[in-house]
Amino acid sequence: MTALFVLILALIPLSSAFGNDFRLSALGGLFFFASDNGPAADPPALLPTAGVSAAFGIAGPLRIEITADAYFTNYEYRYEDKQNSDLGYPMACIPDNRYSFVIGIVTGVQATAAFSLGSGVYFRVFGGPAVDLRIVTLAVGLHPDDMEEAERQTSLITKYFWSEGRMLMPTAGFGFDFTMNERFLLGIDLRAWFPVYKLWTNDNTPAIDGWRFGAGLRLTPRNSSR
């Protein structure tokens, strides 16, 4: 997170180079991975995230914004039928139950409309297509006796996340930007990601599984138009 803020400071001249219609922001916050896997399962995951966004003005309050948020967590694969590994799905889990480690980059292109509310406060509403690009590896620090099962689960988790369009997760949300000083805006974002792949897949997951919700902060260098 600190590194991203340093990056923003370093890139202030870049904002000037692109002119008043370009805005670069550092993002940081929390992702909530909704789930309902029964009392024997781990609770839904709440994960820290860090990212960046670049917004390009189109006309008036309208912008195109490119965002990228990174997260990481442990996963296990829940078998519904141990004789048929196709009947099951991945679950984010606590370290004690880990077999795989997932690094995710959630990136998207969204339309944004921003409006001044006066007194240095701005309101944004946004939405658009997004994808969750997940790198799945063996969990760190596994016991040698667990390696065979970990390799199996990592393969199943990779196959699950990269098949049937499960990386597609359009997003929508809104936020506010507050003038900190003559150089920076401090923003608050609330976002949701929708598991549209559930419309065409039959993966045995509970209805709430796959939904994502995010709350975070953004730091944006000001330009002469704000």
Q: Which residues pair with 192 in a beta bridge?
A: 172, 213
Please report, rounded to a whole number, the percentage of residues in the chain having pLDDT higher than 90. Answer: 76
Question: Which tokens belong to 117?
Answer: 């509310």
Q: Are 130 and 106 in contact (CB under 8 A)?
A: yes
Q: Which amino acid is at 156?
A: L
pLDDT grade, residue 31 (50/70/90)? Answer: very high
The per-residue pLDDT for 82 is 62
Give mean pLDDT, residues 50-74: 96
Question: Which tokens belong to 54?
Answer: 């670049």
Q: pLDDT, tens digit, for every residue of 170-204? A: 999 999 999 999 899 999 999 999 999 999 998 77
Give mean pLDDT, residues 139-162: 96
The per-residue pLDDT for 56 is 94
Distances (CA, A) of 126 to 104, 107, 108, 175: 22, 14, 11, 9
Say if residue 178 is exposed, middle or buried (CB neighbours under 10 Å; 0-12, 13-18, 19+): middle
The per-residue pLDDT for 150 is 97
At residue 74, does pLDDT exceed 60?
yes
Residue 69 φ/ψ, nearest 5 degrees: -125, 135
The per-residue pLDDT for 11 is 45
Please, how many CA atoms are within 13 Å of residue 149, restricted to the half-sphere of its CB?
A: 14
Q: pLDDT, tens digit, for every residue of 97-122? A: 999 999 999 999 999 999 999 999 99
At residue 225, does pLDDT exceed 60?
no
The per-residue pLDDT for 83 is 59
Residue 22 CB coordination number (10 Å): 16
The per-residue pLDDT for 85 is 61
The per-residue pLDDT for 84 is 60
Say if residue 83 is exposed, middle or buried (CB neighbours under 10 Å; 0-12, 13-18, 19+): exposed
Q: Are 78 and 97 in contact (CB under 8 A)?
A: no
The per-residue pLDDT for 162 is 97
Of 139, 141, 114, 128, residue with least CA distance to 193: 128
Record: fold of 2-221 = Porin (2.40.160)
Q: Which helix (H) or strand (E) holds 161?
A: helix 147-161
- For the chain, what is the mean pLDDT? 88
The per-residue pLDDT for 20 is 57
β-strand pairing of 171-179 with 88-93: unpaired
The per-residue pLDDT for 86 is 63
Give mean pLDDT, residues 59-83: 90
